[in-house]
Amino acid sequence: MGYRVVVAGATGNVGREVLNILAERQFPLDDIAVLASARSQGDEIDFGETGRKLKVQNIDNFDPKGWDMAIFAIGSDATKVHAPRFAAAGCTVIDNSSLYRMDPDVPLIVPEVNPEAIDGYRAKNIIANPNCSTAQMVVALKPLHDAAKIKRVVVATYQSVSGAGKAGMDELFEQSRNIFVGDSAEAKKFTKQIAFNVIPHIDSFLDDGSTKEEWKMVVETKKILDPKIKVTATCVRVPVFVGHSEAINIEFENEISAKQAQSILREAPGVMLVDKREDGGYVTPVECVGDYATFISRVREDSTVDNGLSLWCVSDNLRKGAALNAVQIAELLGRRHLKKAA
């Protein structure tokens, strides 16, 4: 016996990746429905590499009654309309948008970090998936926090254009091509040229000068990991198609050496430590694409503070940052609460 699962936003980057991962991990399915807007109705999309084709249905007309869970990758505006409708029909929503992340009645889950928090899902029958840059960072921070208690985190991100969807990927490709042939590299999706450039601006600006992306990293880390941790972030868009990178500086309450941290991270769930102090002894975004792990490299002590460490963190943002984490939440929900699969 398996689950009846809906994937909403199935034609987008994250939705397609959800389908790939459900197939790869052989998620126990009795039935699957793929939804999108009316303009995609009737289209067929692949269910991973199974050879099976799935016909897209219009989310506006879909009846969620009798379905166990729905993975949403449809943006906040559409989620605001459809998530309460699905939840009220008894279909648990796992939402990739930012809409419910800071709702106190909605658990914000990274299964390797705070699996027990999922027990609060019944308040609204909705579970939130964190921001992509937050998800990979807290996977790295959790085992270190358990060992030496984190006081403060300073993070600079190097975020790929796929975080801005297909339009972001298209703009990087088109601008790069245009520059090579001498054509205009006009910015449309991004605020400035992204090809051969970096942009220290993701999402809208807030009154204090930070961006909403930076704010998300702060408040989501506190909600998922520990409200006492101080976090400051600078989020930067870089000309990489897939894979977010982060330079993370951590200050601890208790003493911890780089060697101890390496040993802890080597055994941590969801983490792959690749940290050789030699040419190429670290992971870059190109190498993480298509992988489930959060890769950690360049672990070293920071002598400018007591009990400080710095490290490099890389992950496929379409996977751990979105689709994989959502599927892991679905697996956790099944194991811990629904218990339909053998």
pLDDT of res. 174: 97
Asked whether the predicted pLDDT for residue 312 surpasses 90, the reply is: yes
The span from the CA of 79 to the CA of 96, in Å, is 9
Q: Residue 25 annotated as binding? A: no
Q: Residue 14 annotated as binding? A: yes
With CA atoms as reference, report the closest residue to 310 among 256, 268, 269.
256
Q: Residue 162 annotated as binding? A: yes
From 132, 235, 288, 313, active-site residue: 132
* CATH top class, domain 133-160+198-315: alpha beta
At residue 14, φ and ψ (nearest 5 deg) are -70, -40
Range(s) of the chain covered by CATH 3.30.360.10: 133-160+198-315
Provide the pairing of β-strand 69-72 with 53-58. Answer: unpaired
Residue 244 annotated as catalytic? yes
Q: Residue 51 annotated as binding? A: no
pLDDT in tens, 109-151: 999 999 999 999 999 999 999 999 999 999 999 999 999 999 9
Residue 132 annotated as catalytic? yes
Asked whether the predicted pLDDT for residue 89 surpasses 90, the reply is: yes
From 82, 145, 235, 244, active-site residue: 244
Residue type (1 letter), 185: A
Chain mean pLDDT for the chain: 97
Element (H or E) spanning 58, and its range?
strand 53-58
The span from the CA of 35 to the CA of 253, in Å, is 47
> pLDDT grade, residue 1 (50/70/90)?
confident
* CATH top class, domain 3-129+322-338: alpha beta
State pTM to two decimals: 0.96
Radius of gyration of the chain (CA): 20
Contacting residues for 328 by C-beta, under 8 A, at least 6 apart: 111
Q: Residue 90 annotated as binding? A: no
Range(s) of the chain covered by CATH 3.40.50.720: 3-129+322-338
Report helix, strand or coil for 249: strand
pLDDT in tens, 176-224: 999 999 999 999 999 999 999 999 999 999 999 999 999 999 999 999 9
